[in-house]
Structure 1
Amino acid sequence: MGDLEDISQHVSDKISLVQRMLDLSVIELPQHKVKKLELELFAITKLLEDFEECVNEQKKHLKDLQDIDESYQRSLKTVHHMKGNIPLHIPRKKDLVNGNEATTKQSDAADTQQPQAETVKKTSKTVVKEMEFVTMAEFESIPQYMRGRVSYDQLNAVVKCLNTTVTAKYNILHQSMKTLTNHSRKLQSRFKEQETKDTKGQFFVVDEDIREFTQMKVDKRFQGILNMLRHCQRLRELRGGGLTRYLLL
């Protein structure tokens, strides 16, 4: 801005000088005065050209700043959109499982969907595998007749329910008897009775386990969601002894 003001003042001074010389032109000027007037006019022309170049350069700078501002506003809008539309199920690592018994239940699995991913939880004896959340692409690949009115979030709420159940179950299974309460000992005994040669090395739950550790209703709708999870290759069923075992894949 300082350069423009300096140029403007200089041009103004030159114009004033020429104006005075023109005012004196009513009388005949000596040749050297005429020559000087020509030089002053030439200098003013050059200054005006420099001034115009400076103005054009400032316009270019202004355009660049406007482009930067527009880019910033677009980025800011994108960030606000991302902040307000964070997916409910973002894969994240989970802490190691401690040795305490998991006895608390979910208040409502459909209303308390928190992001988590397929993880391996460590204990002193073994690891507990959890089911990976269904991606949106996988959800959209499920046939419409199978999906019905089940939403993406409702499907992953069942995934979370199954993960809660399998974690609580195997946390109890891998503890020593003397560290368990009477109720947990009964559960551990039942868990072991339900195991077969086909479930060796596998992680599975049954309907009774889901009722024990969550508040999810094991009804017709729940069974329909399990069909969707089988379609997405998250689990498979193993029947026998009057039980349906849901094996995590």
Structure 2
Amino acid sequence: MMKDTASSSLEDLCIHINEKILDIKRCILLRDIGQDECRKSVVHKIQNKVILVHDLLNKMEIEVKQQEKLRDLLKDIQKAAEKEQKEAQHLLEHIPPYLPKPAQSCITVPAVKDEGQTEAVEPMHAKKSAKKTKIIKEAALITTEEFESVPTYMKGRLTYDQINAVVQQINKAVVDKYKILHQPLKFMSSSVRNLYHRFMEEETRDTKGEFFIVEADIKEFTQLKLDKRFHNILSILRHCQRVREVRTSGLIRYVIC
């Protein structure tokens, strides 16, 4: 067994040596061909082509490196885009329930004619004005910047969402109140007519042309509790200039700013 292994190794060594001798013979043959005058032009052309191929390989290597850099850059861009997409999807799925409005919003309701008006005698311009809509002003929601600027002693444990929830309820009370005021009396039920008369009695010179509510309106049109927390939120809304108070004859009117 040992003899066979030694014989195999010797054969391999002989093959290797013979291959090297063959390579040397080829080199000598090529050297001799290069010295042959009739073959020098062919060798020269081959040399030029080798140089061209070498230059082409260099250019290809440079291009490959540039493409690799571009590939790495595109991978970075792809990762950044995927990250932005995930963040955008997260924001889409977790939109805050109360987003600040860009500006004060208003609700329009159809204007109605006074009870004394009749279609037979009113002029053409009166018909046009009757078709115009009246605007109900609402308070804008508190922005996060405004919330951060509110003094800590005013906020206490109140959250941004809790404050804006009250703003929305106040706006609901304002809209419901002024929708009634814009209705014709002849179409009102007795209970709604009583509300209408109360609204008119609460008007003063200071509130003329303004939109306001009182605590009775909040009780009538919302589920808000008029407790300490509610009045703390009202203080914040006054601080942020969403409402202001008009006090007359012991009645507090919350005017929309």
Band the TM-score falls in, shorter-chain normalisation: 0.7 to 0.9
- Cα gap change, 1:177/1:83 in structure 2, threshold over 3 Å: closer, same or farther? farther
**In structure 2, how many angstroms separate the alpha carbons of the residues matched to 1:51 and 1:44?**
10
**In structure 2, how many angstroms separate the alpha carbons of the residues matched to 1:77 and 1:190?**
58
Alignment-derived partner of residue 121 in structure 1: 107
Alignment-derived partner of residue 83 in structure 2: 77
**In structure 2, how many angstroms separate the alpha carbons of the residues matched to 1:90 and 1:70?**
35
Structure in which a larger fraction of residues adopt helix: 2
Q: Is the 8 A contact 2:100 2:143 kept in 1?
A: no
Alignment-derived partner of residue 25 in structure 1: 30
Q: Is the 8 A contact 1:130 1:248 kept in 2?
A: yes
**In structure 1, how many angstroms separate the alpha carbons of the residues matched to 2:142 and 2:203?**
27
Alignment-derived partner of residue 172 in structure 1: 180
- The count of corresponding residues between Structure 1 and Structure 2 is 207
Q: SS at the partner of 2:110?
A: coil
Q: List gaps (5 residues or longer) in structure 2.
A: 1-24, 112-133
Does residue 41 in structure 1 map to residue 51 in structure 2? no
- Cα gap change, 1:23/1:129 in structure 2, threshold over 3 Å: closer, same or farther? farther
Q: SS at the partner of 2:142?
A: coil
Q: C-alpha deviations, 1:104-157, integer Å up to 9, x for none?
A: xxxxxxxxxxxxx52122223321111111111111111111111111121111
Residue identity opposite 2:105 in structure 1: T
Query: Mean Cα displacement is larger for which, 215-224 or 66-75?
Result: 66-75
Alignment-derived partner of residue 63 in structure 1: 69
TM-score (norm 1): 0.73
Residue identity opposite 1:124 in structure 2: P
Q: Is the 8 A contact 1:133 1:159 kept in 2?
A: yes
Q: Is the 8 A contact 1:21 1:37 kept in 2?
A: no
Q: C-alpha deviations, 1:174-206, integer Å up to 9, x for none?
A: 111222233322222221122222111111111
Q: C-alpha deviations, 1:82-113, integer Å up to 9, x for none?
A: 34234541537xxxxxxxxxxxxxxxxxxxxx
Instruction: Give the CA deviation at 1:72.
Output: 3.7
Alignment-derived partner of residue 200 in structure 1: 208
Instruction: Give the CA deviation at 1:26.
Output: 7.1
Alignment-derived partner of residue 167 in structure 2: 159
Q: C-alpha deviations, 1:20-71, integer Å up to 9, x for none?
A: 9747427555223244234323322321221221232133133224323422
Identity across matched positions, percent: 37
- Cα gap change, 1:27/1:68 in structure 2, threshold over 3 Å: closer, same or farther? closer
TM alignment of 1:124-143, pairs within 5 A: 124-125=110-111, 126-143=134-151
Residue identity opposite 1:219 in structure 2: D
Alignment-derived partner of residue 89 in structure 1: 99
Moved over 6 A (4+): none
Q: Is the 8 A contact 1:162 1:210 kept in 2?
A: yes
Q: C-alpha deviations, 1:3-29, integer Å up to 9, x for none?
A: xxxxxxxxxxxxxxxxx9747427555
Alignment-derived partner of residue 256 in structure 2: 248
Q: Is the 8 A contact 2:100 2:140 kept in 1?
A: no
- Cα gap change, 1:22/1:179 in structure 2, threshold over 3 Å: closer, same or farther? farther
Instruction: Give the CA deviation at 1:218.
Output: 1.7
- Cα gap change, 1:188/1:54 in structure 2, threshold over 3 Å: closer, same or farther? same
**In structure 2, how many angstroms separate the alpha carbons of the residues matched to 1:42 and 1:214?**
94
Instruction: Give the CA deviation at 1:220.
Output: 0.4
- Cα gap change, 1:74/1:181 in structure 2, threshold over 3 Å: closer, same or farther? farther
**In structure 1, how many angstroms separate the alpha carbons of the residues matched to 2:40 and 2:146?**
89
Residue identity opposite 2:109 in structure 1: T
**In structure 1, how many angstroms separate the alpha carbons of the residues matched to 2:215 and 2:78?**
53
**In structure 1, how many angstroms separate the alpha carbons of the residues matched to 2:238 and 2:199?**
23
TM-score (norm 2): 0.71
Does residue 223 in structure 1 map to residue 209 in structure 2? no
